[in-house]
Amino acid sequence: MKGTRCIRKVDNLGRIVIPRDIRKALDIKEWDDLQISLEKNSIVINRCSNHCTFCNSKEDLSLFREKYVCRKCLSQLKNS
């Protein structure tokens, strides 16, 4: 799967389809959250882990430097 390349057209709403083989390889399922970021001139799409990096909580998450952090851990970070 490494080095897989394909060409997709962007539709009139700006959507693209992620090829099934790539979704399968990364275990991306319907309604999963994906994080889209711009790095230099490339669009990078990552799977969202959707849990706090520190305590694995799934509630009150915010993104901090590309990682999910829950509100509780975030306040502890600010106080440390």
Report DSSP letters for 37-55, one per residue.
EEETTEEEEEE---S-TTT
Residue 21 tokens, joined: 């083989």
CB of 68 to Zn ion, least distance (A): 8
Kindly list the distances between the CA atom of residue 58 and the CA atoms of 10, 29, 45, 78, in Å, as whole numbers in the listed order: 32, 18, 21, 20
The reply to whether 23 sits near Zn ion by the rule CB under 5 A is: no
Candidate ranges 1-9, 15-23, 43-51, 56-64; the one touching Zn ion (CB under 5 A): 56-64
Instruction: Decide: 7 and 28 in contact? Cβ < 8 Å.
Output: no
CB of 57 to Zn ion, least distance (A): 5
CB of 70 to Zn ion, least distance (A): 3
The reply to whether 74 sits near Zn ion by the rule CB under 5 A is: no
The reply to whether 61 sits near Zn ion by the rule CB under 5 A is: no
